[in-house]
């Protein structure tokens, strides 16, 4: 079927008006029973450097967004740290030697090994997050090699996965019934700082309509703040035992 040249703008405008102007966030999490019950309390955390990855999707294909991904990683790290602090959790960076005699290179190697192990476990977590309750996921006791582990209840991993659609890609999606929105997910995982056992896993999904722009890259507070607070409360982060 051939579309008249005047009909395309009308279809596009109609589709735009039908989309919500505000971003919507869906969030969910799974916790180990000992976290839910308050048996394991989270009052201190060792922060693993955040890793955010953004991809631009256009009509001609996908391309990486290295600079934007680095900036987004920093924004996500700052967001999570600020909200953990607001619950009363004390924070320490994983890349700090502290009172340890470990060199910067040795410390970076340990962090890299733990991150690689987490990446392996994360693939399984995404498939079967409910198995957290069965104690099936662990990073191993190598986590105790981090100087911050001795003074922390948990290791915290902050990840971001997002796709940014170009204007042309959004228009094609609306015309042919495909995805017409950019979306980005904040993934928050906590592991026992002494044993490496995965204790919590949360995903906060932000979907932005065509009229909303990609504000999740810069305004992470607006994109994820409320949902993050809800999940931290559900995971009893910072709470006293029994509450």
pLDDT of residue 28: 86
pLDDT of residue 212: 44
pLDDT of residue 10: 39
pLDDT of residue 61: 67
CATH number for domain 23-234, candidates 2.60.40, 2.60.120, 3.30.160, 1.10.3470: 3.30.160
Instruction: Name the helix (H) or strand (E) containing 29.
Output: strand 24-31
Q: What is the mean pLDDT of residues 197-204?
A: 95
pLDDT of residue 19: 36
Task: Place 208 in a pLDDT band, splitting at 50, 70 and 90.
Answer: low
Residue 191 scores a pLDDT above 50: yes
pLDDT of residue 47: 97
pLDDT of residue 30: 93
**pLDDT tens for residues 53-95?**
998 877 676 787 899 999 999 999 999 999 999 999 999 999 8
Q: Which residue has the tokens 């009172």?
A: 99
Instruction: Report which of residues 64 and 213 the model is more confident about.
Output: 64
Tokens representing 97? 């030697």
Is the whole-model pTM more than 0.85?
no
CB 152 within 8 A of CB 46: yes
* DSSP assignments along 210-243, one per residue: TTT-SGGGT-HHHHHHHHHHHHHHHTTTTPPTT-
Residue 242 scores a pLDDT above 80: no
Contacts of 228 (CB under 8 A, 6+ apart): 27, 79, 80, 83, 186, 188, 204
pLDDT of residue 21: 35
Rg of the chain over CA atoms, in angstroms? 21
């Amino acid at each position: 079927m051939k579309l008249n040249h005047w009909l395309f703008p009308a279809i596009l405008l109609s589709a735009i008006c039908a989309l919500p102007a505000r971003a919507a966030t869906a969030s969910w999490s799974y916790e180990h029973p000992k976290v839910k019950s308050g048996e394991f309390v989270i009052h201190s955390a060792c922060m693993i450097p955040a890793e955010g990855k953004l991809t631009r999707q256009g009509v001609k294909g996908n391309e990486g967004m290295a600079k934007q991904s680095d900036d987004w990683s920093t924004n996500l790290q700052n967001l999570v740290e600020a909200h953990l602090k607001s619950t009363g959790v004390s924070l320490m960076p994983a890349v700090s030697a502290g009172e340890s005699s470990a060199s910067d290179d040795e410390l970076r190697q340990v962090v890299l090994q733990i991150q690689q192990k987490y990446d392996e476990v994360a693939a399984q977590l995404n498939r079967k997050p409910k198995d957290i309750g069965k104690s099936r996921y662990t990073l191993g006791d190598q986590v105790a090699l981090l100087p911050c582990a001795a003074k922390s209840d948990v290791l915290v991993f902050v990840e971001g996965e997002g796709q940014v659609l170009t204007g042309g890609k959004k228009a094609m999606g609306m015309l042919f019934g495909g995805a017409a929105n950019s979306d980005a997910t904040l993934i928050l995982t906590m592991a026992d700082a002494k044993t490496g056992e995965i204790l919590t896993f949360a995903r906060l999904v932000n979907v932005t309509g065509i009229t909303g722009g990609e504000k999740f890259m810069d305004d992470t507070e607006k994109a994820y703040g409320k949902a993050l607070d809800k999940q931290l409360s559900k995971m009893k982060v910072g709470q006293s035992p029994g509450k």
